[in-house]
Amino acid sequence: MEGQEFLESARRIVEETEAISTRFKSRTRGESGRLTIGVHASLSAGNLRATLIDHRKRFPEVDTQLVDGSSDRLSCDLLSSAIDIAFMIAGDRRREERALPVWNERLVAAIPDQHPLSSRDIIHVEDLDHEPLLLPMRGPGPEFLKMLSSKIDSSTCRLVRQDVSLDRLLTLVGAGWGILVALEGATGVTYSGVTFREVHDGDGAIRFNFSAYWREANPNPSLRFFLAMLRERYPDLSRDPTE
């Protein structure tokens, strides 16, 4: 009887050891573990959503966490290793960061259905002058403000800053509070009383370029495999192929 118990105990130890070894190897290969991704744009549609879906299909065992924030906050989170990678509107890169250009998104305006601009196929950025503009304080709000300031008279622009999430801002649009500028990734969900229209300037559709940012010193295996997937989907044509 004691021999039987000894054999069962030994078998459990072997099985537990093999399970631990399997988990370790899986984590080392980036097939499991955790990946924390910073975002500051909507993912109801577009390339960011497609990228996350693709990663989920390839690495279903990776515990993926998303963090919202402005570009400044996400850059700080990268430096403190609170997040592994961030998708942000391309800008000045900090010395500790690496960057990969990925995609661009068109600027859209979310307009109350009853507003005269909603009947147009497109609107021009000058049409937003004198309109009450809902400006998010989160996400890409600072980049929107910089763009608007360069294209329309900031002294006549009626900015209504709101420190709430995108879905609440779109609800305010539907309630007639004003017009919201957003990125095309926000158009994947229908909101009552809201019409989306592209925003153009003299050169056509206004676009914002996005890059993925990360720290080269980050040892997370899941990040390495995520970056390999990104480079497959969005090859960096500016990079020297000999590097």
Q: Are residues 32 and 83 in the same domain?
A: yes
Q: Are residues 62 and 143 in the same domain?
A: no
Q: What is the pLDDT of residues 106-133, one digit of tens each?
A: 999 999 999 999 999 999 999 998 899 9
Residue 211 and residue 223: Cα distance in Å, rounded? Answer: 15
Q: How many domains does the chain have?
A: 2
In a domain, 149, yes or no: yes
In a domain, 161, yes or no: yes
Task: Write the CATH number for 93.
Answer: 3.40.190.10
Model confidence, pTM:
0.81
In a domain, 123, yes or no: yes
pLDDT in tens, the chain (243 residues): 555 555 555 455 544 444 344 444 444 444 669 999 999 888 888 999 999 999 999 999 999 999 998 899 999 999 999 999 999 999 877 777 899 999 999 999 999 999 999 999 999 999 998 899 998 888 899 999 999 989 887 667 788 888 888 999 999 999 999 999 999 999 998 999 999 999 999 999 999 999 999 999 999 999 999 999 999 999 986 564 444
Q: Are residues 215 and 98 in the same domain?
A: yes
Q: Residue 177 belongs to what domain range?
A: 105-207
